[in-house]
Structure 1
Amino acid sequence: MESTQQVEKQSAQETASSSTRENVADLVFPNLTSLWLSQEPEDQATLRRLKQVWEMFASGWSPQDKMHIYCLLPEVRTNHTNRRVASKHKLYKHDITFGLWVILRCIYPDQKLPALRLALMEKYPGIDLSAFTGPVPNAACMAPEEHTAGKLELKVVTP
């Protein structure tokens, strides 16, 4: 028989995976007492920080970033191995995204995370890492080398 925690976690994952782009925009941060979230005091402190960041900045995030954060919430768990060293956390090994950055910054608020900062700046040129505002939309499209006349090709279409 499945535990209540497993059922709630599965339900949350099914809800997250079946969400469309429209309802992702309306996605709200879950209740901190949800059984699919860690109830350990240190993890709850991290989840409270995440909730504050969500409430302040999520309206400017992409639906994908919101969904990514939401789906990773059950992974907000510290233990004796990863408590002080971010690179020991299993989330640290994921490919960096803005959503992952938000979570790791809330788990490790006093650490600078230089390797992740560099990877994030390479992935999202123009991102402001001093805030949680998110990547600059279409920053790659605005790169000067993309708009040179030499790159423009006209094709003649015959009827």
Structure 2
Amino acid sequence: MGLWVIRLQRLLSAAWLGSMLSLAALVAPAAFALLPRAQAGDLMRRLFEYDARLSLAAGVLLLLLQRKRQVAQDESSDESRRAAVISWELVCPLLALLCTVAGFYALQPLMEQARAGQGAWTFGQLHAVSSVFYAFKLLAVAVLALRLSGPQALPGSARP
């Protein structure tokens, strides 16, 4: 298997992590510092929608690339050295996808209802739950990027 798969995984996971960190640590605080609260909320809602779409695409692509790596490793190794079907490089994107679906796609309609004064939960409560999902997604992508950046990610390297 060529190194292009590993390089693409590294690049994609690092770009995904950078995008998420920028959104949470730079864009959101700046938006609420510079814009009226309602406009900042509208802007951030739109940007988190883009983040959710990017997360779905990046997560699925990283899953496919990791499966490609595992299949190539299985074909090139003997029976006793087969790659584990479940690895951190599969678990992390799956967890990030789960957090995206739950934290954005499931909660966003509820947050709209809460904003309109409907539903059992307040907007603040739903925002807190959404923030926790985003933090877990960020952690999963960070772990993935770190695992892919180490020498153990290269073919033929020993894995701890």
What TM-score results when the alignment is normalised by the length of structure 1? 0.30
Question: Higher helix fraction: Structure 1 or Structure 2?
Answer: 2
What TM-score results when the alignment is normalised by the length of structure 2? 0.30
